[in-house]
Amino acid sequence: MGSKDSKSKTKTKMADTADKFRCYQKSVQAPEHEIEFFLRAYKDAFRKKAYTLREDFCGTFSICCQWVASDKKRTAIGVDLCPETLQWGRDNNLSKLNQDQQKRVRVLEQDVRKKNRPAVDILAAQNFSFWIFKTRAEVVEYFKIARSNLQTQGIMIMDMMGGGECLTEGQTDKRTVKKGKKGFKYHWTQHSYNPINHDAEFYISFKFADGSKMKRAFTYQWRFWSIPEVREMLAEAGFSHSYVYWDVEQDEDAESQWVRKEAAPSDPSWVSYIVAKK
């Protein structure tokens, strides 16, 4: 007779074996889109092509890898403090490049508030990552150092978000990233928001086809900065100009059309880019 214990063994849940970094990349990052926008923003600013990129808060530095793979003349520097995340990037992103491409990616495990050489054409600080700095003095200091890491004809690019839904505690944005038996969903939760000091906490969780969930796979404790505050701090840090690129496409199924704007309609949940010229 078979053992009852063997028949009642708990089946391994998908959340227990899932790779949180892989899920993150599939849910949040779109390197091809980012690079397309970077090149367009640089051409808007200087009417020429960009070849050197620095990705601050780079995480698994997938954008760096895609950048060098897209043109044999391009080089990239990725900067992040987390050794685990950087190692995952080496094992899963850098390893997929050929030898020549790998040589054109430099990975630095350090604080982004450090000057490095060579200076670059484009410095990107994506996914609201600089919001980790919660005081004006800290942000201005970071912007000054970021500016020093740029070529004379250089731009800094960062994304921003806002709208009432982003400030509503308990609000969760849910998206299906992959369908089917091996599929999963991405949950972005606004856990807390303090209107007095703009401190906010967000979570990323993943839910899988078997119903299991990887809760709080990533936690972010940020200050919620606004577009005018960031533009003022960029100017204080010495940047000559800053521009806002707004998504003018209202159809959810259509691709975003990023256009420079100085006025935009009210929106309960929006994302934009700020591009600053050195």
109: in domain: yes
Same domain, 270 and 249: yes
Same domain, 145 and 262: yes
Q: What angle do CA 207, 205, 37 make, to 5 degrees?
A: 110
Structure confidence at residue 7 (pLDDT): 44
72: in domain: yes
Whichever domain contains 241, its CATH number is 3.40.50.150
Residue range 79-121, pLDDT digits in tens: 999 999 999 999 999 999 999 999 999 999 999 999 999 999 9
Same domain, 118 and 106: yes
pTM here is 0.92
- Asked if 259 contacts 249 with a C-beta cutoff of 8 angstroms, the reply is no
Same domain, 197 and 85: no
- Asked if 77 contacts 64 with a C-beta cutoff of 8 angstroms, the reply is yes
Q: How many domains does the chain have?
A: 2
Same domain, 84 and 60: yes
Structure confidence at residue 252 (pLDDT): 60
With a cut of 70, list the residues of the chain below it in pLDDT: 1-10, 250-255
Same domain, 139 and 105: yes
Same domain, 158 and 179: no
Same domain, 169 and 67: no
Same domain, 125 and 215: no
Range of the domain at 92: 20-162+226-277
DSSP H or E stretch at residue 223: strand 213-223
Structure confidence at residue 54 (pLDDT): 98
Same domain, 215 and 230: no
Structure confidence at residue 180 (pLDDT): 87
For residue 198, with 0-12 CB atoms within 10 Å meaning exposed, 13-18 middle and 19 or more buried, which class applies?
middle
Distance of CA 258 to the CA centre of its chain: 17
Structure confidence at residue 8 (pLDDT): 43
DSSP three-state, residue 123? strand
Direct distance between the N- and C-terminal alpha carbons of the chain, in angstroms, rounded to an integer: 77
Same domain, 119 and 251: yes
Residue range 51-88, pLDDT digits in tens: 999 999 999 999 999 999 999 999 999 999 999 999 99
- Residue 43: closest CA among 160, 96, 122, 152: 122
Same domain, 65 and 116: yes
